[in-house]
Amino acid sequence: MRLAFLVYVSRSGSTLLAHRLATATADVVVLPELRLPEILLLAGDPAVRTMDEEKLEDLFSEDRQYAALGLSDEDHRAVLAAAPGGIAGILETLAERYAGRRPAVAVYKLGALLHYTSQLQALFAECCFVHVYRDVRGVASSMINAERPYFPGEPMGRGDVVHIARTWTRYLALADEKRLQGLPLLEVAYEALVGDTDAIVNETLGFLGAAANTDATGEFAVAPAERELHRLAGKPPEAGRVTGWREELAAWQGVTIEQLAGPAMQARGFDPWFGPRCTAGKRWRAGVRAWFAHAWLGLRFYLRRLGNLVTRPRETLRRLQARLRRGAHG
C-alpha cells in the first residue's frame, strides 16, 4: 500500500478533489479529514510504539473527527493493536479497516501535514503529496462566510483577511520550498479542477500510481459536523465559484489581500482585480481599516482560546503544541 497526503489551506477545494478521487477508482481510498496523523506525529513514533491501550485511547480521543469514521469496535481495536508497529502500522491498519480491504493507495487528508514531510517520508519511503491551492481571494471569501465546525460562532480564518492572506502566502511558499527540495508533490489548482475536473482527476490518479475504472464504488465521507461546510463537494463544480469573490468580498478586503499576497498571487497567475479599480486614497484607507480589524479579530481569537483552556484544556494545549511545531518544521 502506498500512502499519499492531500495538503492544502482550508477552503481550497481539497474536499472536491477528495470526493472525485474516491469515486473514480477502486484502487484508491481517501479517508475523511483527520487530525490523528498530526497528533501521532506530535507524540513521536518511539512513544507511540510503547503506549498502552489507555494512553492510545486518550490520544485518539483528541481527534473529534475519528469517531465519524464509523469503525466497528473490532476495527478500532485492530487499529490500536497496530501500535507496536508505530505510526506507520496505525495509519496503514486504519486505512485497511476503513476501506474494508487493502487498497493500492490510501490518501490521508490534512493541510497541516505539509509541515511534517520529513517525518512522513522517514516513515513511508514511497509516500507522495498532492497540494491543492486556490486563489487567495476565493479562499478568504469562503472562510469569512463559514463557521468553524467544532468551534461554534467562530468564523474560519478568524474572519480576518490579513491573517488569511499571510497564512496563504506562507503556506504556498512552504510548498514551493518543499517541491524545490525534491519532495514528490503534485500541485493542483482549484480553478483548473473546476474547469476540467476529469482531466485533473486523471492526472492526479496517474501521479498516485492509479487509474480511473468503471467498477469504482467508493465514496468520500464527511463528518456530520462538517456536512454543511462541504455540502457542494459531491455536486458538479460550479464555474461561478472561481470568480465569486469579486462580488462577495468588500473592496477594502480585496485590496488588502492583493497588497499582502500580491507577489505570490501573480507567481501563480492570479492577477490583481480590486487594486486597479481603486484610487491610491482608497487603497490607503483599506489598509488602515484592515489592520484595525486585524488587531480586534486577533484579540478576540486569543481571548476565546483562553476560555478554551478552561473548558477544553487538553485539546487546546495540543493545538498550541501543533502550532508551535508547525512553525519549527516550516
Compute the distance between CA of residue 144 and CA of residue 58 in angstroms, rounded to an integer: 33
H, E, C per residue of 208-250: HCCCCCCCCCCCCCCCHHHCCCCCCCCCCCCHHHHCCHHHHCC
At 329 the pLDDT is 44
Residue 238 lies in a domain: yes
Residue 221 lies in a domain: yes
The pLDDT of 21-49, averaged and rounded, is: 94
Domain that holds residue 144: 2-249
Secondary structure class of 95 (helix, strand, coil): helix
The pLDDT of 206-230, averaged and rounded, is: 69
* pLDDT above 70 (res 203): yes
**Which of 269, 265, 238, 268 minimizes the C-alpha distance to 254?**
265
> How far does CA 143 lie from the centroid of its chain?
13
Residue 300 lies in a domain: no
The pLDDT of 128-144, averaged and rounded, is: 97
Compute the distance between CA of residue 323 and CA of residue 330 in angstroms, rounded to an integer: 10
**Which of 135, 142, 163, 157 minimizes the C-alpha distance to 274?**
135
The pLDDT of 75-87, averaged and rounded, is: 97
* pLDDT above 50 (res 212): yes
At 241 the pLDDT is 84
Q: Tell me which H or E stretch contains 3.
A: strand 2-8
Rg of the chain's alpha carbons, rounded to an integer? 20
At 223 the pLDDT is 61
The pLDDT of 293-309, averaged and rounded, is: 88
Matching residue, cell 481517501: 30
Compute the distance between CA of residue 2 and CA of residue 128 in angstroms, rounded to an integer: 8
Residue 136 lies in a domain: yes
Residue 273 lies in a domain: no
Residue 328 lies in a domain: no
Compute the distance between CA of residue 219 and CA of residue 44 in angstroms, rounded to an integer: 31
Beta carbons of 129 and 184 less than 8 angstroms apart = yes
Amino acid at 25: T
Stretch among 165-179, 216-230, 245-259 having the lowest mean pLDDT: 216-230
CATH number of domain containing 202: 3.40.50.300
Q: What is the pLDDT of residues 27-38, one digit of tens each?
A: 999 999 999 999
Residue 114 lies in a domain: yes
The pLDDT of 93-122, averaged and rounded, is: 96
At 214 the pLDDT is 58
Alpha helices in the chain (DSSP H): 14-24, 36-43, 45-50, 53-61, 73-81, 86-99, 117-123, 136-144, 161-180, 190-195, 197-208, 245-248, 251-267, 280-311, 313-329
- The count of structural domains within the chain is 1
Residue 223 burial by Cβ neighbours in a 10 Å radius (0-12, 13-18, 19+): buried
pLDDT tier for residue 64 given thresholds of 50, 70 and 90? confident
For residues 79, 83, 89, 90, the Cα torsion angle rounded to the nearest 10 degrees is 40
Beta carbons of 127 and 182 less than 8 angstroms apart = no
Residue 73 lies in a domain: yes
